[in-house]
Chain A
Amino acid sequence: MLVSYKWLQDYVDLTGVTPEQLADKITNAGIEVEHIDYPGEGLKGIVVGKVEACTPHPEAKKLHLCQVNLGSETVQIVCGAPNVAAGQKVPVATVGAQIANHVTIKRAQLHGTESNGMICSLEELGFDRNYVPKEYADGIYIFDDQVPVGADALPYLNLDDVILDLDILVNSAHCMNMLGVAFEVAAILDRKVRFRKPEVMESTDSAGSRISVSVEAADKVPYYGARVLTGIQVTPSPRWMQLRLIAAGVRPISNVVDIANYVMLEYGQPLHTFDLDQFGSNHILVRFAGENEEITTLDGQQRILVSDDLLVTNGKKGVAVAGVMGGENTEVSNDTKNVLLEAAVFDPISIRKTASRLQLRSDASSRYEKGVDRNRTAVAADRAAELLAQFAHATVLKGIVEQGYRTVPEQKITMPLEKINQVLGTQLPREQIVGILKRLNFTVKTEGETLHISVPARRFDVSIPEDIIEEVGRIYGYNRIPATLPDGTSSHAALTPYQKIRRRVEALMESTGLNQVYTYSLTTKMHASSYAVHHAATEPTQVVWPMSEEHEALRQSIVPQLIDVIQYHLNRQMADVKLYEIGKVFLPDAGSPRPSEEEHLAGIMTGKRTERNWEGEPESVDFFSVKGIVETLFESLAIENQVDYRPSKRAGMHPGQTADILLNGEVIGYLGTLHPTVQREHGLNATYVFEIAIESLLRRGATEISYQLLPRYPSTSRDIALVVKRSVAAADLYRVIREHGRPLLKSVRLFDVYEGGHVASDEKSMAFSLVYFDPERTLTDDEVNAVHEKILNACADELGAELRG
């Protein structure tokens, strides 16, 4: 809402309050002044001149030679405007003057003739082209005759004004009009609002004899009023009105249209004018539109309506989309003589739906959407009638033809006085609280410690005690409210076990060199369907109205997003990248449109594992770098003995370098090398990934720590080298060794794998270090040998292993 400081003074005495101070006070009381505009900023030396004579330029057809009286002198000015003529009073930029865009006016020679200044158009004085009235759009501005010659022209163009731009939120709709702003400012400054009721001189003819109104959708149209005005002369509206409209961001059109807009700005009540002679009947019927009913709105667009839209009709066809935009066929034109003026109240939600569906947001619809004050609707009609009589020679027929009630009762709020101080944390005395409410024009009665408050209808944002608390707080000033700390019971808080352990996992990932990233949950359908730990048969969850194909489906895996990040880095010559993310994946649920969500941990590594330095070549990341990280994770969670790795084939993964991760036999994730074709498609180097359903894993809580006494007896270590077929997995050997080593075998570690050389081509040699231990005593060689023998035999029997010499 653009508020003219000059205009506002019509209603509130602003003496002693600069525009800047006012803006500050309004902002601190709750409506943000987004910025302050000085329309005359930079203008200098513009005076009112009178064109005494105007003759065609002897040399140039389109130019005029004007003798312009500036009060103190008369100068010759060459003017190219088509609308310049003798007798006009015009804005003149004298020699040395500054006009818009920092242009300085100099004495000039134009086709051999001297020009001492410039007669200005509104654009040249900084007016926005979109708001310049049609009659001045292609030429100079022309004053009315009352303006004194020689005077500074700026005040007569309201270029000495200051415009405050108010950010109106849902709760401050009462300030979407000048009177509402006046009430707000008066309350803030503790001053009075000056307000005069409009006076309408009505003729003896009754409007009711010309027109009738009926409303079919009464619950959506609580009030519909119409006035009839006859004998109108359509002309431009007066200068002061045009300038006020421009300041408010409305383009002046003609007196009839401008008056309707002006009253809307003044009262907040949208008005609509129909050309009565084009109306097509003498009956107004407001009803719901038929499904697919058509109307051409006054912007020339054909609109197709639905049965929820409110339509003003002449009984047969539509003449206006109610509260949104009028119809083309009944639009007021220059030839209009008789006008039907509509002042109505429409249901905010209904208007919002229609305006939003038609993508037609107008000044009227935006006010209806936020609610209008019904008590002012008929008054606004009177005000428009008053102005039309005054500035358009209208005869006002007697009465308002109406349906519905003109007034709504004031909102009554009863509340304990102490609640205000209790909620604000203040200790304001009763008189101060009552005083603040009275400044807001609320009626207050106290009964003991209880307040009975009547709220004027224009404040439809105030309806419950909490609203009253806010009003008192904001007018008193939030900055004067103390800062306290809650004095309730002191409470204890801590991270949940899951939150705690998740932080530890993050720290662990970072300690292994992975950088934490956040990627988007919404991705392409393609991405959303790939790399899931548990591949879903159904489609990924999709949003109905995505912004783009890039973000239309919910991810089921983090890995595709991480691949994109790697690609981003490769495109920028960064080849050594290690990343991880902990975030939600969204798994479609066959029984519900809502996916189930769980947090996963995913990682990706490519390039060098170590830095290249003076000692030699760096090592590259490989499958076992990734696996080492995963193993370290499980070890830190003390579940490494419950985890197995099983070769697996997964789409997009290398078939020979991918393993499922199983926890107690159940797949909880995977790790491995991206498939070479995927790497090629994305232009990646060898890239390794893992993803683990970490949430279900961590939610089981950390394994309890059980303290083990330090060993009092020595352990015995034996190494063995076993030759097996290449097809035998290390995990098999581990399993057999562990199984048969119980209970004395304390640990087993693979320390060498050897292929080729003197080992047969289909075989490999694997060397293990076994440690035997008994907490109660020192083991004898015989005891150890017995177990060792047992293990060797088992490996031979079950896996065909041979002891290597």
Chain B
Amino acid sequence: MLKERLLELRAQALEKIESADGLKTLQEAHVRFLGKKGPITEVLKGMGKLSAEERPIVGQLANEVRKLIAAKIEEKKADLEAKLLEKQLEAEKIDVTLPGRKITTGSHHLLASIIREVEDLFIGLGFSIEEGPEVEQDYYNFEALNLPKDHPARDMQDSFYITDEILMRTHTSPVQAHTLEKHKGIGPVKVICPGKVYRRDNDDATHSHQFMQIEGLYVDHHVRLSDLKGILTVFAKHLFGADREIRLRPSFFPFTEPSVEMDISCFRCGGHGCRVCKGTGWIEILGAGMVHPNVLRMSGFDPNEYTGFAFGMGPERIAMLKYGIEDIRHFYTDDIRFLRQFNRA
């Protein structure tokens, strides 16, 4: 009889489990069939009346039914949970194409980027970065650079003087003079000097009364013009592309002798001639030369023992060439629509 009761319970339980529509009814089924006061426990309690032969058989059956119900409940539970999760996930669905919450970062000024690129290149080549005052003494801006007071290349009209002896520096070369002086006649001196400079100019598309300059200086025993050529080649390829060639043309600067101007093969047309290079295939990039012995001497270096090279370039010019920027004033007008274009520069 107990056996039949168990089979009946099993059928009832399975049906109840199967029809459970939620975790709650499933839990009720669990309590009802497997609880301490549940019918199977009742059956087991009644086993004492059974014969010794029947007892293990019914006992085993009761255990099996118990196990089966428990397994079915687990199975159903997993099933219900999966359905529930599915429903939840469905409810949580979003439009992944909606725009995200952006963090708008600021931009780095193009000139700062170019200066940094040059700085990093030359640091790798063993040059330190020196900076100096923007308001200079006439001596360092001119005289120490072999530009005595009456030199024709010196024009009062081109400089912002504050007094007869004090002016806004017109180039970053005075930093070189200061640096040489600090080294007290003992090389090597290997520096680049970036910074703002000032000329008495009217601002227009190609002129700015304030602009940037980067100068380089290397003084040591036996520095050669060919070394200058080598370093400038590295520079040109780094900034303008690996297949750039350079060309040196003789020129004149009071602080170098010999003096040269460096052209690079045009990066737009590769040297065939185009608008950027005005049809020549070459673009003028910077001025350079071997440091004039007077400059070395005035800063305490013996020109018989030391030679050196120096070069100077304009970051604005480099930027304008590289990106086809048409007006130098953009760099100082600071229109964010201009600035933000070069955040990756």
Contacts and interface: CB of A to CB of B under 8 A. Distances in A.
A30 B250 contact: yes
A506 B340 CA distance: 15
A348 interface: yes
Contacts of B337: 574
A490 B220 CA distance: 11
B226 A543 contact: no
Contact of B152 (A170, A517, A547): A170
B180 to A, nearest CB: 16
Interface string B97-108: 011011111111
A21 interface: no
A522 B134 contact: no
B240 interface: no
A171 B333 CA distance: 38
A685 to B, nearest CB: 16
Interface in A168-184: 169-172
A423 B224 contact: yes
A207 interface: no
A357 to B, nearest CB: 11
Given A499-B129, A586-B135, A611 B106 contact: no
Given A464-B293, A515-B340, A516-B339, A578 B106 contact: yes
Given A496-B129, A543-B168, A545-B161, A510 B334 contact: no
Contacts of A611: 102, 104
B252 A515 contact: no
A541 B125 CA distance: 39
A543 B162 contact: yes
A30 B221 contact: no
Nearest to B104: A513
B218 interface: yes
A414 interface: no
A544 B127 CA distance: 37
B226 A425 contact: yes
A509 B106 contact: yes
Interface string B158-191: 0011110110100000000000000000001010
Nearest to B250: A30
A568 B104 contact: no
B200 A547 contact: yes
A348 B152 contact: yes
A706 interface: no
Contacts, number: 237
Given A423-B307, A546-B160, A370 B112 contact: no
B134 A597 contact: yes
Contacts of B116: 503
Contact of B225 (A481, A496, A568): A481
Given A28-B249, A30-B249, A577-B336, A369 B224 contact: no
A703 interface: no
A512 interface: yes
Contacts of A522: 160, 168, 198, 209-210
A479 B248 contact: yes
B258 A169 contact: no
Contacts of A474: 250, 258
Interface stretch (B7-15, B47-55, B228-236): B228-236
Contact of A483 (B156, B226, B336): B226
Interface in A387-446: 422-426
B46 interface: no
Given A469-B258, A520-B210, A569-B336, A554 B221 contact: no
Contact of B163 (A169, A489, A544): A544
B98 A568 contact: no
Interface string A495-538: 11001000100100111111111111110000000000000000
A288 interface: no
Contacts of A577: 336
Given A515-B106, A544-B163, A484 B229 contact: yes
Interface in B193-248: 196, 198, 200-202, 209-210, 218, 220-227, 229-231, 233-234, 246-248
A27 B292 CA distance: 22
B108 A169 contact: no
A202 to B, nearest CB: 38
A516 B109 contact: yes
- Which of B109, B119, B234 has the most chain A CB atoms inside 10 A of its CB? B109
B251 interface: yes
A373 to B, nearest CB: 17
Given A493-B123, A516-B112, A27 B249 contact: yes
A613 B101 contact: yes
A466 B293 contact: yes
A466 B307 CA distance: 11
B198 to A, nearest CB: 7
A521 B196 contact: yes
Contacts of B103: 513
Interface residues of A, number: 90
B323 interface: no
B109 A517 contact: yes
A326 to B, nearest CB: 23
A494 interface: yes
B226 A484 contact: yes
Contact of A543 (B128, B161, B259): B161
Interface string A546-583: 11000100100000000001001100101001111001
A595 B102 CA distance: 44
Contacts of A574: 336-337
A805 interface: no
A22 to B, nearest CB: 16
Given A425-B226, A613-B101, A506 B250 contact: no
A786 interface: no
- Which of A469, A486, A517, A594 has the most chain B CB atoms inside 10 A of its CB? A486
A486 B135 contact: no
Contacts of B247: 478-479
A604 B218 CA distance: 40
Contact of B108 (A490, A516, A554, A615): A516
Given A485-B227, A579-B334, A517 B258 contact: no
Nearest to A597: B133
A569 B335 contact: yes
Given A565-B334, A594-B135, A422 B224 contact: yes
A481 B107 contact: no
Nearest to A169: B252
A568 B161 contact: no
Contact of B250 (A478, A541, A572, A614): A478
B339 A422 contact: no
B107 A493 contact: no
A491 B190 contact: yes
A593 interface: yes
B111 A485 contact: no
- Which of A170, A479, A518 has the most chain B CB atoms inside 10 A of its CB? A518
Given A495-B129, A546-B160, A516 B107 contact: yes
A155 interface: no
The list of the 9 closest CB pairs from A to B, nearest first, reads A425-B226, A30-B250, A425-B224, A470-B258, A517-B334, A510-B106, A478-B248, A491-B126, A171-B252
21 contacts: A170-B152, A170-B252, A171-B252, A352-B150, A469-B258, A474-B250, A478-B248, A486-B223, A486-B224, A488-B220, A491-B190, A493-B128, A495-B119, A510-B106, A518-B332, A522-B209, A522-B210, A543-B168, A551-B209, A586-B134, A593-B165
Interface of A: 27-30, 32, 169-172, 348-349, 352, 369-370, 422-426, 464, 466-467, 469-470, 473-474, 478-479, 481-496, 499, 503, 506, 509-522, 541-547, 551, 554, 565, 568-569, 572, 574, 577-580, 583-584, 586, 593-595, 597, 611, 613-615
Given A479-B248, A515-B334, A519-B334, 8 more contacts: A474-B250, A490-B126, A512-B106, A515-B107, A543-B161, A544-B163, A578-B106, A613-B101
